[in-house]
């Protein structure tokens, strides 16, 4: 099955939710979906569809790179014991770490797709998902 067929629901959702500059391409048996969303809820919805198609994101055949940096959000403080908080590409511990938020740092919460994960953005512009339990809302 072609990857664009496998992930057609995800591609259609990105189109219907108005993801700007949507780019879909296949390279090396991996489908890349890039674009800009006007809100974290759109990004969360796309990750939820992805998880429904590929439970626990195990296939490794999709890179979902949707930027929600334009989304407004609330401030929160990183409350890890002493270490940095991992920022992940998607809402799951199996997702790659794309950055770190220092202990005590303030971050912007863009959205919260579920009770475990929050989509955040650091002051330096890193955007990704973190465990909600390590955030304290201001």
Per-residue confidence in pLDDT tens, the chain, 138 aa: 599 999 999 999 999 998 989 999 999 999 999 998 877 889 989 999 999 999 877 888 999 998 887 666 889 999 999 899 999 999 999 899 999 999 999 999 998 878 899 999 998 888 999 999 999 976
Fold of 74-137: SH3 type barrels. (2.30.30)
pTM: 0.66
SS3 17: coil
CA 137, CA 10: separation in Å to the nearest integer?
31
Sequence-distant contacts of 91-97: CB under 8 A, at least 24 apart: 91/44, 91/47, 91/51, 91/116, 91/117, 91/119, 91/129, 92/51, 92/56, 92/57, 92/117, 92/129, 94/56, 94/57, 94/58, 95/57, 95/129
Neighbours of 16 (CB within 10 A): 8
Q: Are strands 62-67 and 30-36 parallel, antiparallel or unpaired?
A: parallel
Residue 71's pLDDT is 64
Residue ranges per domain, the chain? 3-67, 74-137
Fold of 3-67: Beta Polymerase; domain 2 (3.30.460)
* CA dihedral sign, ordered 109, 11, 50, 62: negative
Residue 45's pLDDT is 92
CB 128 within 8 A of CB 120: yes
Residue 13's pLDDT is 95
């Amino acid at each position: 099955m072609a990857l664009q067929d496998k992930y057609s629901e995800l591609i259609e959702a990105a189109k219907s939710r108005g993801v700007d500059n949507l780019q879909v391409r296949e390279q090396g048996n991996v489908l890349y979906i890039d674009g800009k969303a006007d809100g974290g809820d759109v990004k969360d919805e796309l990750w939820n569809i992805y998880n429904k198609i590929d439970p626990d994101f195990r296939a490794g055949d999709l890179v979902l790179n949707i930027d929600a940096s334009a989304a407004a959000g609330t401030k929160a403080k990183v409350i890890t014991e002493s270490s940095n908080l991992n920022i992940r590409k998607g809402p799951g511990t199996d997702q790659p770490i794309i950055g770190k938020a220092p202990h005590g740092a303030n971050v912007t919460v863009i959205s919260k797709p579920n009770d475990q994960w929050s989509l955040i953005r650091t002051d330096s512009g890193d955007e990704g998902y973190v465990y909600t339990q390590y955030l304290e809302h201001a």
